[in-house]
Amino acid sequence: MSGKKILVLGSGMVARPCVEYLTRNEKNEITVACRTLSTAEALISGLPGTRAISLDVSLSKNLDPQVAAHDLVISLIPYIYHATVVKSAIKAKTNVVTTSYVSHAIRDLEAAAKEAGIVVLNEVGMDPGIDHLYAIKTIGEVHEKGGKVKEFHSYCGGLPAPECADNPLRFKFSWSPRGAILSMLNSASYISEGKRVDIPGDNLLSLSEPYFVTDGYDFVAYPNRNSVPFQEWYSIPEATTVVRGSLRYKGTPAFIKALFDLGWLDAGEKDWLKEDLTWAQIQQKVIGTENATESCLVARVKEICKFSSDSESDRIISGMRWFGLFSNEQAVVRGGNLLDTLSHHLDELVSYQPGERDLVMLQHKFVVEWRDGKTDTLTSTLELLGDPKGYSAMAKSVGVTCGIATQLLLDGNPAFNVPGIIAPYKKEVCEPIREALEGEGIKLVEKTQ
């Protein structure tokens, strides 16, 4: 059944392609809500069947009536608010869609969601989202042919296009630098050769290794989050290696690791961090040098970071110089802490500029053992570049996937209309999303090596 009232919470970069997809059904009535009305109005500009409202989701007295007035709510706000939205939806018996991982806070609401008879559909973006669609597809095909998936490797990266990776970090920010940086410091767990491996966040980036995906790129990869449950969720109990992780250009993890080692990623408030300090003076205070001259600072940086080679040392110290961290320029302090101060600085220097493209790169690698003992390596690869005159690759891949899944739920597809907390881990859910997504030009290339 289509032609429903849809409430979209959030006005970030993924919201517009999601809303635009849903407006293709002229019966849909879409309300876009965010705290600032003008931002919501700008997002819906030129889109039929839409309206904008101002809404503070942290206030239940404001959120509850809006959720109750709609048939479905798409939560594109930070994941920490999803549980609040779902609680409101349970009271109103309104379905919910998110692009985020199922958190413990959401999972704890499953019984209440089932009792209310609502669907809370999650992980329908890029990663998570599109990654699930093709993992489930290939694993299912291998099992149908009597094969076993002995190893599963999956790496994804949201990156600047190669020509735009033109700064020492080799990275650009399309959202909060703070969040992007901290996401690189998540702890990780995965299965390797039949054993669970746990990596603390402060050691993760030092484990990044060169990883070949396709010609023309120099990627490194490292594990991210907890891959262990995917052995069960993807129905591959036979797999002795299961790892999901992140792709970055060579050099990015080492640079972030150096900033971490030097204390720049400390979110604790510092009484001494004042507006009248220069970047060199902050650096001096953080790493404990006698003075703020560049030579003194550089010598101490080398002592702390213990770079793997002279070339690595030269590259990262040159990069810090490029970012002005040894300069006598007055720093703009944010949040009273080093992380927010650095994040604001990076946002000014290495955010995407008009006309620049991003890149989404995703690859699954399956090592398959067939009944006759033969072994093959199968790959599924997405190389998606943003449109400088349209949507970024990340916005399109997340937003359109979310829009497709939402419409399938609204249309009454039986696989989607199962009360409770669900994610696309089954063929019946993944296949219709994947088929519609391929119709939008987003398709992984599958090969046997």
Catalytic positions, please?
Answer: 127
Contacts of 165 (CB under 8 A, 6+ apart): 159, 171, 172, 249
C-alpha 329/C-alpha 267 separation (Å) is: 22
Closest by Cα among 380, 379, 102 to 225:
102
The token duo for 189 is 């767990």
C-alpha 113/C-alpha 98 separation (Å) is: 15
C-alpha 4/C-alpha 11 separation (Å) is: 20
Helices (H), 145-218: 177-183, 201-204
Closest by Cα among 415, 410, 432 to 25:
410
Strands of 56-187, DSSP E: 72-75, 95-98, 119-121, 148-160
Closest by Cα among 208, 178, 437 to 312:
208
Number of Cβ within a 10 Å radius of residue 238: 12
Q: Which run of H or of E encompasses 60?
A: helix 60-68
In the chain the first and final C-alpha atoms are separated, in Å, by 43
Looking at residue 300, the DSSP 8-state letter turns out to be H
